[in-house]
Structure formats: C-alpha cells, structure tokens
Structure 1
Amino acid sequence: MTDDKTKRDFRERDRVSADEDYEVRCLAKQHRITPEQVRELITEHGNDRKTLEREGRKLRG
C-alpha cells in the first residue's frame, strides 16, 4: 500500500515539545544528557530545536 499524498503532516519539526516524552528522550539520547536536563533547557531557552541542540552540546562538554 502506498502513502496517501493528500494527507499532510503539520508537525513542527523545528520545535521540541516538553510535553512529548519521546521527543525529550530522543534529544537527551542524541546529546548524552538526561531528560531532566532537556526540560531545563526548554524552560531556559525555549523549544527551538537548533538552539536546544547547541545548548545540549555545551552541557555534554
């Protein structure tokens, strides 16, 4: 069965939701930090993925 091209995906891939555990876990695993640290970064810097990735790299050292 092929994908239905008429159905559009409106998720914002450039944002990370603190309410979605899988997004928090994925970012934490990617940068080898804890999910709690990811949530703190979201609180401090907002939910922009590029900003969170930059700050996650800083935490990892």
Structure 2
Amino acid sequence: MADDKTKTDFRDRDRVSADEDYKVEYFATKAGITPQQVKELIAKYGNRRETLEREAKALGSGR
C-alpha cells in the first residue's frame, strides 16, 4: 500500500521503508551508498534510521 503523502505527521520519520523506492533512493543519496546497499542494510539491521545512518557511515569508511 502506498504512503498517503497528504498526512504530514511524524510517525515514521525514524524509519526507512525498503518497500518505497523513493525512500530508499533518498536515503542512498544522502548516505552516499547505493540503493542496493540500503536494502541490504535494512535486511541485516532493520529499518531504524539511526541504526542505518550509523551502519552506512561505517560502510562508507571501508569497515
């Protein structure tokens, strides 16, 4: 089911949905990684934005 973009509350701001391509693309661009890497991080660590940002940063530094 697609997001209702008319709703502007903050219920899911701390999550990244792997099912919404535009959210994956935005996060990938912001983090400097590929969309595929974002999906792999979500599969491994879950969809909490804070965790994904930390892991994307570590991924970018060549851990």
Please state how far the C-alpha of 1:11 moved relative to its aligned partner: 4.3
**Taking every aligned residue pair, what percent have the same amino acid on both sides?**
60
TM-score, normalised relative to structure 2: 0.79
- Alignment match, 2:35: 35
Gapped regions of structure 1 (runs ≥ 5): 1-6
| Number of equivalent positions | 55
Q: Deviations over 1:10-42 (max 9, x none)?
A: 641101000001110111101110000000000
- Alignment match, 1:21: 21
TM-score, normalised relative to structure 1: 0.81
Gapped regions of structure 2 (runs ≥ 5): 1-6
Q: Using the alignment, how far apart are the partners of 2:8 and 2:54 within structure 1?
A: 29
The structure with more radius of gyration: 1
Alpha-carbon RMSD: 1.6
